[in-house]
Amino acid sequence: MDRAILQQAEAIAREAIQQAGEWARDKFGRGIIVEEKDRFGDVVTEVDHQAEAILLEAVQRAFPDHQIHSEEAGHLGPKSDWLWLIDPLDGTNNYAIGLPVFAHSMTLLYRREPVLGVVYEPLVNRMYICQAGQGATCNGRPIQVRRAADLHRANIGWIQGHRVQQESRAVRLRQHIDMSCKRMLRLWAPTIQWCMLACGQLDGIVLYNSEGDDLYSGLLMVKEAGGVVVDFNGKPFTGMNSEPYLIACHPDNQQVMLQLVHDGLQK
């Protein structure tokens, strides 16, 4: 893996994602075109498309030989060891109803492993950046996951895929977490939850079958902030998976989080 490419990629992503964020911030709450994407209630807005155009143009100009997958545009570019995953507006449903909880996400993978993550929250001007083996930062300051002393006083993030809906197994687990912890948080903007965990603002995340362009920047952010990401059996999560079931937390909390999920699935 070429570190020079990573440094260049970070600079390109930082500039482009801030530009996309400025566009989204300026349009927020001003009346936008919203269209339904599927029967599950997911939506897309004109801001998704404009932000995506900004991010794609920057990547394609700088790295024409890299492959890209973007949420609205799909697969672009030649096959390559380098793959960009772009979520131009994570939290579109929130954005569409005027809820100020959304972000933009860019991830660069090398041979299916994330090596660069950039997440930007434009309304609060928070830029999260991580590189494999280099740690994670928010606005240039190092961030770190925290250890939860007591699960019953913990704040746990819940993330589920759009198609999960009210699947009985997911509902049971969700209810168990909600009853076992201080608070279960559902933002419908996954990258923000991953960054909150990386910053020590959440104590853990349970992800239920939610894979997409918003996933891998957050995974890398948590790992680089000292966290662990494992599947429901406790196996470290690497690479890519089209149907992930994951737990993320401080290493010292891994066993209690695994027990929490196991107990919830047995109900």
Q: Which two tokens stand for residue 137?
A: 């930062």
Query: Sign of the C-alpha dihedral, residues 241, 243, 249, 252?
Result: negative
Residue type (1 letter), 69: H
Burial 191-212 (b: 16+ CB within 10 A, else e): bbbbbbbbbbbbbbbbbbbbeb
Q: Is 65 annotated as a binding residue?
A: no
> What distance in Å separates the CA atoms of residue 10 and residue 116, rounded to the nearest whole number?
7
Q: Which two tokens stand for residue 214?
A: 């918003």
Q: Is 89 annotated as a binding residue?
A: yes
Q: Is 213 annotated as a binding residue?
A: no
Closest by CA to 71, choosing from 58, 59, 53, is: 53
66 SS3 class? coil
Q: Is 81 annotated as a binding residue?
A: no
Q: Which two tokens stand for residue 110?
A: 């090398």
Q: Which residues lie closer than 8 Å to 197 by C-beta, 6 or more apart?
A: 145, 157, 203, 204, 205, 222, 225, 227, 248, 249
Q: Is 71 annotated as a binding residue?
A: yes
> What distance in Å separates the CA atoms of residue 235 and residue 241, rounded to the nearest whole number?
13
One-character DSSP codes across 106-157: EEEEETTEEEEEEEEETTTTEEEEEETTTEEEETTEE------S-GGG-EEE
Q: Which amino acids are annotated as binding site, given as ranges?
A: 71, 87, 89-90, 214
Residue numbering of the annotated binding site for Mg(2+): 71, 87, 89-90, 214
